[in-house]
Amino acid sequence: MSTDTQQLTGQSILAGITTPGNGGEVRGFNPATNQALDPAYSLIDTDQLQLATAAAEDAFESFRSLDPETHAAFLEAIAENIEAVGTELVARAMAETGLPEARLTGERGRTCNQLRLFAQVVRAGDHHGVRIDPALPERTPMPRVDIRQRKIPVGPVAVFGASNFPLAFSTAGGDTASALAAGCPVVFKAHNAHPGTSEIVGRAITQAITDANLHPGIFSLLYGPGASIGQALVADPRIKAVGFTGSRSGGTALMASAAARPEPIPVYAEMSSINPVIFFAGALAEDAAGHAKAYLGSVTGSSGQLCTAPGLVFVPAGESGDAFAAALRAETGNASGQTMLTEGIYNSWVQGVHNLGAQPGVELLGRGTKGAGENAPAPSIFSTGVEQLLENPVLHEEIFGAASLVIRYEDVADLATALSKLEGQLTATLQLNDSDHEAVAAVLPILERKAGRILVNGWPTGVEVGHAMVHGGPFPATSDTRTTSVGTLAIERFLRPVAYQNIPDGLLPAPLQRANPWKLTRRIDGTLKNAGDQA
Catalytic residues: 270, 307
Q: Return the number of other C-beta atoms located less than 10 Å from residue 197's C-beta.
A: 29
Spatial distance between the Cα atoms of 481 and 371, rounded to a whole number of angstroms? 37
CB–CB of 199/172 below 8 Å? no
Q: Are 23 and 225 in contact (CB under 8 A)?
A: yes
Q: Residue 530 in contact with residue 521, Cβ under 8 Å?
A: yes
Q: Closest Cα to residue 43, out of 219, 232, 207, 175?
A: 232
Q: Are strands 527-529 and 147-153 parallel, antiparallel or unpaired?
A: unpaired
Read off the amino acid at residue 233.
L
d(CA 220, CA 512): 32
Cβ neighbours for 465, distance < 8 A, ≥ 6 positions apart: 110, 113, 114, 117, 174, 486, 487
Name, in order, each residue with C-beta under 8 angstroms of 43's C-beta and a sequence gap of 6 or more: 21, 23, 24, 25, 26, 223, 224, 225, 229
SS (H, E, C) 422-449: CCCEEEEEEECCHHHHHHHHHHHHHHHH
d(CA 82, CA 105) in angstroms, rounded, equals 12
- Rounded to 5 degrees, what are φ and ψ at 160? -110, 130
* Other residues' Cβ atoms within 10 Å of the Cβ of residue 414: 19
Q: Cα angle at 476 between 471 and 224, to 5 degrees?
A: 85
* Non-local CB neighbours of 434 within 8 Å, separated by 6+ positions: 282
Which whole-number Å values give the CA distances from 161 to 25, 115, 164, 168, 188, in the listed order? 18, 16, 9, 9, 7
List, in sequence order, the alpha helices (H) in 262-410. Answer: 281-286, 288-300, 319-333, 343-357, 386-391
- Give strand pairing partners of 158: 187, 242
Answer whether the bond into residue 264 is a cis peptide, omega within 30°: no
**How many other C-beta atoms are found inside a 10 Å radius of the C-beta of residue 467?**
12
- CB of 221 closer than 8 Å to CB of 12: yes
Nearest to 53 by CA among 247, 203, 188, 248: 188
Nearest to 280 by CA among 163, 184, 412, 377: 412
